[in-house]
Amino acid sequence: MVSVGTVVWLSSELMFFAGLFAMYFTLRSTTGGLWAEETAKLNFPFALVNTLVLVSSSFSCQMGVFAAENLQPRRIGRRFQFSRWGMTEWFLLTFILGSIFVAGQSTEYAMLTSEHITLNANAYGSAFYITTGFHGLHVIGGLIAFLLIIGRAYAAKKFGHFEATSAIVTSYYWHFVDVVWIGLFLVIYVLK
């Protein structure tokens, strides 16, 4: 039941982001040369590395799901014996990678502000900050969820299907956030 509810909720989130994409494309089609001028200020290599960090977090998240499905909350081997890591170690790595992504977004915002691209500067600035900002808030929400899942795994006397299901539905959300970012990255940084 929790999985179905999460998928239904993610469908509503998909509609929310579809609206943001529609706003972005509408503003882009009505402002002409502004987009070419402003997108030239984007740091593509920096954004690409930041994107790769977020995408790699999806892999670590999925490894945590595999461990949760095997009802293995914590590692059963040495610290760097990755094949023996449990859900908490993989989700902690996912949390770290997601935090690096958020820090990278903040750094990019600072760089763009120094280039005079701000939320209220023009249509491009509004579209850029609204789309990436709402995505960033969703990433932060996912990071909080990972902390709650890790905390629940430590608090549970016995790690069972309830905790595993919570980990799995959190991964649905995280994978969704990653896929949305790939779409945003392609639209904002590649299709200039």
pLDDT at position 143, please? 97
Residues above pLDDT 70, as percent of the chain: 99
| Each residue's pLDDT tens digit, 96-118 | 999 999 999 999 999 999 999 89
How many domains in the chain? 1
Q: What is the predicted pLDDT for the residue at 145?
A: 95
CATH number for the domain that contains residue 125: 1.20.120.80
Cβ(190)–Cβ(91) under 8 Å?
A: no
Question: Each residue of 5-46: pLDDT tens digit?
Answer: 878 888 888 898 899 999 999 988 888 788 888 888 999 999
**Residue-level pLDDT at 44:** 95
Give the CA diameter of the chain: 61
Evaluate if residue 169 carries a pLDDT over 80: yes
Mean pLDDT (the chain) is 91
Whether pLDDT at 66 is above 80: yes
Length of the chain in terms of residues written: 192
C-alpha closest to that of 112 among 59, 177, 176, 188:
188
Please name the residues in contact with 30: beta carbons below 8 A apart, sequence gap of 6 or more.
123
Query: CA-CA distances (angstroms) from residue 179 to 54, 102, 139?
Result: 10, 16, 12
Domain enclosing residue 130, as ranges:
2-190
Higher-scoring residue by pLDDT: 188, 78:
188
The mean pLDDT of 115-124, rounded to a whole number, is 89
The reported pLDDT for the residue numbered 184 is 94
Q: In this predicted model, what pLDDT tens digit does every residue of 69-81 receive, in sequence order?
A: 998 888 787 887 7
Residue 186 has pLDDT above 90, yes or no: yes
pLDDT over threshold 80, residue 2: no
